[in-house]
Structure 1
Amino acid sequence: MHSCCARKIILWSLCLIFSLSYSMLVCASTPPKHLCRQDQRDALWEFKSEFHLRNMAANEKTQTWKNNSDCCSWDGITCDPKTGKVVELNLWSGSLNGPLRSSSGLFKLQYLQSLNLNSNNLAGTLPDSIGDLKYLKELSLSGCNLFGNLPSSLGNLSHLTLLDLDGNGFTGELPDSLGNLKQLTKLLLPSSKLSGKFPQVLLNLTELTAINLVSNQLEGTLPSNMSSLSKLEYFDVGSNSFSGFVPSSLITIPSLVHLSLERNHFNRLLEIGNISSPSKLKTLSLGGNRLSGPIPGFISKLVELSSLDLSFWDTLRGTVDFSVFLHLKSLMVLDISTLNTRSIVDMSLFSRFESLSLLSLSRNTVKFSSTLRIASPIGSLALASCNISEFPKFLQTQTSLVSLDISQNQIKGRVPAWLWRLPGLTYVDFYRNSFTGFDGPPDVLRRNEIEMLDISSNAFHGPFPLLPKSTTFLAASDNQFSGQIPTTICEMVSLEALVLSNNNFTGSIPRCFKNLNTKLSLLHLRNNSLSGNFPEESVSVGLVSLDVGRNKLSGELPKSLMNCARLEFLNVEGNMFNGTFPYWLRSLPDLQVLVLRSNKFHGPLLYSPPPRGSLISFPKLRIFDISRNILSGVLPVDYFSGWSTMSSGVYTPDNKQNRFIGITFNYRKAVVLATKGTEREFLGTSFSIYKIIDLSGNRFQGDIPKSISLLKELIVLNMSNNAFTGTIPPFLSNLTNLQSLDLSKNRLSSKIPPELGKLTFLAWMNFSYNKLEGPIPQGTQIQSQDSSSFLQNPGLCGPPLQKTCSGGGEEEDTRKQDHQEDEENDQVLSWIAAAIGFVPGVLCGLAIGHVLISYRQDWFKRIFQLT
């Protein structure tokens, strides 16, 4: 019995082994079956081939794609496990470079449900073909450099729940077809250039939970019936141009958690009565609008608020009941700066909060006692322009403090040493106070990790403070520091911005600046007493803005500036730099401001003789000031060709301000410009819209180059105090934006072109001290000028000069022309008369001569016969 069972067990075991072996052999001999369908793989491969990759990183998703492998196993691809259809394509940050064509293989993936191409360079328009992907539920194309209008075909994506087109350059209005997206829950279209009004069709999308349209160009009013969006949790339309009232139906949506309407033009907030259900609102941002009147009391009922921004609310110099904020126990962020109120903000109010981490009270009047204690762990405190005259001692216990702004107050004396013992302090702004020094040992600041320090516009003097190596931004302008620039600055290897302008520093520019060669982008040493050469090695290749104007520097400009490919602003005015014009600056592609005025540069502006390709072209230049040098020669006819910004009106904003958690790093670029006959200093960004050429005070000769007529955006043109000859060219009338024209103190001759009177913006002009003649054109902009604009031109006549033109104006010209024609006619008649009398006179003379000759021959014969 047992032996029978044993035989059966052995038999079954052998059968099982045989079956398993056979199965393995079958599997080994059968080629693997790909899940991916052939048409799907072809479409993906076609899509990949449409782009060239910007880099070949090892983790590049499409680098793993192989045409002979299962596309469902490729990185970024997800397939339906049953059908093999591609349902998800995720190439986020995939380094794709090239436009998305309407015939792209992408649109052959008809079964896609999720498409994510975020952070690729798809520069171009979004084709209508996007509407062919009718099964899409999620579409993410943020940061793809797309532009143009949004295609109306987006309305065909009826299954869409997420539309994320953040950070592109779309223009035009939001298409009404978006109203077809009934399943849409998130509409994310921030940071574009969309215009028009808020689309009413969005109110039909009752599934929406998030709308983000921040930083566009939308305008008009918000709909009054916003309550139809009953599931809305997030609504942000900040940084647009919306106006009118803030609809109460929006604020009272029960599900709303985040509401931001900041930086618009809203001028009215309706008072809200009893809120029927407890509000879930945690963020309410209304700052930067035109809201006025009392701060509404309903805010005290928003007890879940953690962030509240009412900055720039205009109370019309009324009073504020600050107790309205006491009910908001969960507040972490409170910005009530610039309330325009006569009420004084008592800092003791905030001793009752426990979680406050950011508090901005700037541009209000603030008071606090020396015994004040605030329990909240404040991380950022802004008290700029608060009429404070003493250092806030309550900060001693604020060990969580990271950012402190007490700029533009009246605080005197020395900065207390205990401030630098706050362990997290990183950003400090003392701009425009009356501080004189720092308490504690010389290295007191080195005990902290200060990254940004602004002590400009104070009365600091004595030894320059030793700063930690972590310092990234340092502004110490407009103080009384003296001696040499300390070389300890070179130990701050992370330094990106250094502003020491308007002090009393002497000596040379430290050669050790070469230690900052990779990161330093802003170097302003303006208006000190620095001398010597500018060392080549002191130039940081990362410079964006360099100002060493109004010092005593000499020698040639360092040619290492050619390596500063990002340089936009260069000002060396008021020094003793010499050498020829630095033509090599043309290699800087982003240069916008070039000021070389009041130095000793000499010679022509071009090589002599100019080699091939030597044309100086500054495509982005908008201020070119080389006045008061010793430059000479003739300007070539095409000298100003290729100066695109002055020709086309392309505006490059000058917005190099750096913000850190409520603090602005205060540095102000400065340029002295001659406009309308006077010199004045332009600060900050006040000169950013100017397009200026100033060649005055040199020794240029020859004609005014015709290529100037291409610079149609030019606002100021100053060519005075040179030796230009020839006539004032009529083509200057092409400069239709010109406001100031100075051609005085040259050798220009002939008449003033009447065409200049057509320049409607030309408010000031000067033609004095030339060799001009003829009547001053009448009835134009020219006649509005003072007589001093025409002095010392002996041949000029007519108003506003007191010298009259005989016959007056154009009539005198006509009379002179007629008289000249009469004289010419008389001369012609005289020549005709002479011609008429010439022929018979000649004949008569010949006859008389013949008679005399015959008579003389007869006389000689008679004499001969007599002899």
Structure 2
Amino acid sequence: IPSSLGNLSYLTNLDLSENDFTGELPDSIGGLTQLTELQLSVAKLSGKFPLQLLNLSSLTGIDLRFNKFQGMLPSNMSSLSKLVSFDITGNSFSGSVPSSLFMIPSLMILALGKNDFNGPLEIGNISSSPSTLGCLSLEENSFNGPISGSISKLVGLWYLDLSFWNTEKGMVDFSIFLHLKSLQTLHLSYLNTRSIVELSLFSHIMSLNDLHLSGINVKISETLSLPSSIETLALSSCNIAVFPKFLQNQTSLYSLDISVNQIEGQVPEWLWSLPALRHVNISQNLFNGFEGSADVIQRSEKVMIDISSNAFQDPFPLLPNSTIYFSGSNNRFSGEIPRAICELVNLDTLALSNNNFSGSIPLCFENFNTTLWVLHLQNNSLSGVFPEESVSVALRSLDVGHNRLSGKLPKSLIKCTILEFLNMGDNMINDTFPFWLSLLPNLQILVLGSNKFHGPLSSLGDSLSFPNLRMFDISENRFTGVLPSDYFAGWSAMSSVVDIVDSTLFKYAGRSSPYYHNSVGLTNKGLKMELVGSVFTMYKTIDVSGNRLEGDIPESIGLLKELIVLNMSNNAFTGRIPSSLANLSNLQSLDLSQNRLSGGIPPELGKLTFLARMNFSHNRLVGPIPQGTQIQSQIVLHLQRILGSAVFLSKKRAVEKKKKKQRKKRKKKIKHLAGLQLL
């Protein structure tokens, strides 16, 4: 941002949000003395809180959401005496929250969520007149210890979010919230408390619309009656064992989340008759069926339905035409995928992974060719060819891994210009490498492993630049040929720290935000793990193992400085281990075993301090293990067929092995002599 901006002395409103700036705000911004509104959200700005802003006494609104600001807030925030809204959500601010913020008489909105604030919350002395503060958002910080009872002084609050406050297994006095008679939205999820809260306590807050108590042990009485105004109720992970009957009377309920509990039996018929209910999440329970007729759900007007991770089995439920989101993954459904699903023309997410569906992918999925964002059919028994016509141009995530699909990769995927996640792994797809996938600018996850792909991975006429790719798995195929030295030069997301929008978390419009996460398997440090949702942004991996690749390992591999896992094992690579691997400072797992590599281990690899697993076995390496390096402390280090001063067993074991070999020779010689004597 140019410093000349400070010359605009008559400027009253400055909006630079949603840009790609670098660095800090210029000091000259303190010259904008007439400024009343400052909007800098999602602008990639960094540095500490700009102290120059404290001189702008006319400011009524400051919006610094989702930048990279850090450090502590100044203690004299009350100098901004006209401030109405202060939103710094999604930065890295730390330290304590200045009590002076609560002394600003005009302040109505204070949003400090998703930072690293800690310590107790000091509200300070509030005047005898009612506080004007209406919105207080403190979620996802590092607050710990008891929740301050002084929050009850903020009687004007209509929105309060204390989610993920770490009470350190302490007790919470939930009665302090009863003083907040104007509350419409209350988020108290995941407080890490031993307290059991009586849900009836909140029946006294008559204005309450949205109540979030996930992660807290909740007690529900038989006579419970919450305010009829309740529209959103989140009771996930609340240790509930019986379906809450009081819900029958919640005629305004729009969104219900009772996932991750221990409720068993059948889902009551009356649930689907609640007139305002649109979002239903009953996933991760022990349900095994539905009360009522086969069309009990179809007769409703639900928009989002999540019944995943239960014990549901056939018949598959009939769904309402209004359905936008449906997840039935991790159940016991079988047979062919019901063609009735194709009538859901508004569907944008369909997740049926981890069932036992068989047959082919329905041709009628072409009905979704402009609407479907997410199609997840992983780990079923689907067979046949993936129909070209069934590919939606709106796809962001396609997961059909672990099935029995055959034929070629559908070329119609080239139309999916916003595709981010593609998993075709563990099928029987017989095709050459799809170079055309590099034309998809947003592709981040590509899994083609364990199929029948074949042929070269490079072509003179095809560029293989994947600027946003962060997971690349083509293992256990039949790829052949040599990789050019600049093969990885265009893989930008793995070569530098870049901000990648995590659309693996798909949100929906409405009064609540149901979502669906992607997931994919990964082997790291010798352990198999499943990565889910936003964890993808942390892992950048390449797995080309189990193919027939030959020639040198490309030197350009050293450009991928953000790589976490690299597996090039079980190929026919020759030449030396490239010293450029030493540039992969974040590498945790390196497997180059079962190749034909020669020469020594580059001593520079000892600088890889995060490396926890290294496998060089079954090669033709020679020379010493680099002395005094990280390599010598590896948990797993296979160095078979190494000559010189290299020691792949401890000295003690090596000596024992030598003695054992000598004993065998002596025994063999004795037997031979004994045989001669018998003759």
TM-score, normalising length: structure 2: 0.88
Deviation string, structure 1 residues 452-500 (Cα, Å, up to 9, x no partner): 1111111111211111122112111111111111111111111111111
Query: Within 5 Å, which residues of 2 pair with 1:705-784?
Result: 705-784=554-633
State the secondary structure of the residue aligned to 2:422. strand
Q: 2:481 aligns with which of 629, 633, 652?
A: 633
Task: Say if 2:81 is the partner of 1:230.
Answer: yes
Could you say which residue in structure 1 is the equivalent of 2:665? Answer: none
User: Given the alignment of the two structures, is residue 524 of structure 1 paired with residue 372 of structure 2, yes or no?
Assistant: no
Letter in 2 for 1:469: N
Match of 1:420?
Answer: 272
Match 1:574 to one of 414, 418, 426 = 426
- Give the aligned partner of residue 245 of structure 2: 393
Instruction: Give 2:469's match in structure 1, choosing from 614, 621, 630.
Output: 621
Shift of 1:347: 1.7
Secondary structure in structure 1 of the residue aligned to 2:493: helix
Alignment equivalent of 2:539, drawn from 672, 677, 690: 690
Letter of the structure 2 residue corresponding to residue 686 of structure 1: V
Partner AA of 1:725 in structure 2: T
Q: For 2:335, what is the secondary structure of its paired residue? A: strand
Tell me what 1:348 maps to: 200
Q: What is the CA-CA distance between 1:525 and the residue it aligns to?
A: 0.8
Aligned amino acid, residue 255 of structure 1: S
| Number of the residue aligned with 2:97 | 246
Report what 1:701 is aligned to. 550
Q: Is the 8 A contact 1:282 1:305 kept in 2?
A: yes
How do 1:31-430 residues align onto structure 2 when only pairs under 5 Å count? 149=1, 151-266=2-117, 267-273=119-125, 275-430=127-282
Identify if the C-alpha distance between structure 1 residues 356 and 581 changes in structure 2 by more than 3 Å, giving closer, same or farther. same
> 1:431 touches 1:666 (CA, 8 Å); kept in 2?
no
Indicate if the aligned counterparts of 1:366 and 1:388 stay in contact, CA closer than 8 A: yes
In 1, the alpha carbon distance for the partners of 2:23 and 2:11 equals 22
8 A Cα contact 1:773 1:797, kept in partner: no
Name 2:318's counterpart in structure 1. 466
Seen in structure 2, the aligned counterparts of structure 1 residues 331 and 700 have a Cα distance that, compared at 3 Å, is: closer
The answer to whether the 8 Å contact 1:414/1:439 transfers is yes
- Do the aligned partners of residues 677 and 195 (structure 1) sit closer, same or farther apart at CA in structure 2, a change above 3 Å counting? closer
Q: 1:572 to 1:188 in 2, by over 3 A?
A: closer
Q: 774-783 vs 491-500, which deviates more?
A: 774-783
Provide closer, same or farther for how the CA distance between residues 443 and 770 of structure 1 changes in structure 2, counting only shifts above 3 A: same
Displacement, 1:509? 1.0
Once the two structures are TM-superposed, the CA of residue 518 in structure 1 deviates from its matched residue by 0.7
Matched, 1:645 2:497: no
Contact 2:506/2:516, CA 8 A, preserved across alignment:
no
SS for the counterpart of 2:430 is strand
Structure 1 position 629, deviation (Å): 1.6
Between the aligned partners of 2:527 and 2:225, the Cα distance in structure 1 is 54
The CA deviation string for residues 207-237 of structure 1, in whole angstroms up to 9 with x for no partner, is 3333333333333333333444333333333
Between the aligned partners of 1:796 and 1:681, the Cα distance in structure 2 is: 41
Q: In 1, Cα distance between the equivalents of 2:379 and 2:29?
A: 58
Residue deviations 1:720-765, cap 9 Å, x none?
A: 2223334444454454444333222223334444444444444432
Offset from partner CA, 1:552-592 (integer Å, 9 cap, x none): 11222222222222222211111111133333323323222
Q: Distance in 2 between matches of 1:758 and 1:265?
A: 31
**Is residue 413 of structure 2 the alignment partner of residue 564 of structure 1?**
no
Residues 797-843 of structure 1: per-residue CA shift (max 9 Å, x gap): 53134799xxxxxxxxxxxxxxxxxxxxxxxxxxxxxxxxxxxxxxx
For residue 274 of structure 1, report the CA deviation from its aligned partner. 5.9
Question: In structure 1, what is the equivalent of residue 516 of structure 2?
Answer: 667
* One-letter identity of the residue aligned with 1:547: D
Matches of 1:503 and 1:360, distance apart in 2: 31
Residue of structure 2 in register with 1:585 after alignment = 437
Distance 1:320 1:742, change over 3 A: closer
CA distance in 2, matches of 1:802, 1:247: 58
Q: What is the one-letter code of the residue matched to 2:288?
A: T
Report the Cα offset of residue 503 of structure 1: 1.0
The answer as to whether partners of 1:355 and 1:376 remain within 8 angstroms in 2 is no
The alignment yields a C-alpha RMSD, in angstroms, of 2.8
Cα 1:675–1:307, aligned 2, differ >3 Å: closer, same or farther? closer
The structure with the largest helix share of the pair is: 1
Asked whether the 8 Å contact 1:337–1:363 carries over to 2, the reply is: yes
Counterpart CA distance in 2 for 1:603 and 1:161 is: 62
Alignment partners' CA distance in 2, 1:505 and 1:478? 11
Q: Using the alignment, how far apart are the partners of 1:583 and 1:287 within structure 2? A: 44
**Residues 615 and 636 in structure 2, CA contact (< 8 A), matched pair in contact too:** no
Structure 1 residues 317 and 784, CA gap change in structure 2 (3 angstroms):
closer
State the one-letter code of the partner of 1:764: R
Question: Aligned partners of 2:580 and 2:450: how far apart in 1?
Answer: 30
C-alpha change, 1:275 and 1:408, in structure 2 (3 Å) is same
Partner SS for 1:579: coil
Report the 3-state secondary structure (helix = DSSP H, G, I; strand = E; otherwise coil) of the residue aligned with 2:375: strand
**Higher Cα radius of gyration:** 1
Q: Call closer, same or farther: CA 1:621–1:293 in 2, change over 3 Å.
A: closer
What is the alpha-carbon distance in structure 2 between the residues aligned to residue 199 and residue 639 of structure 1? 44
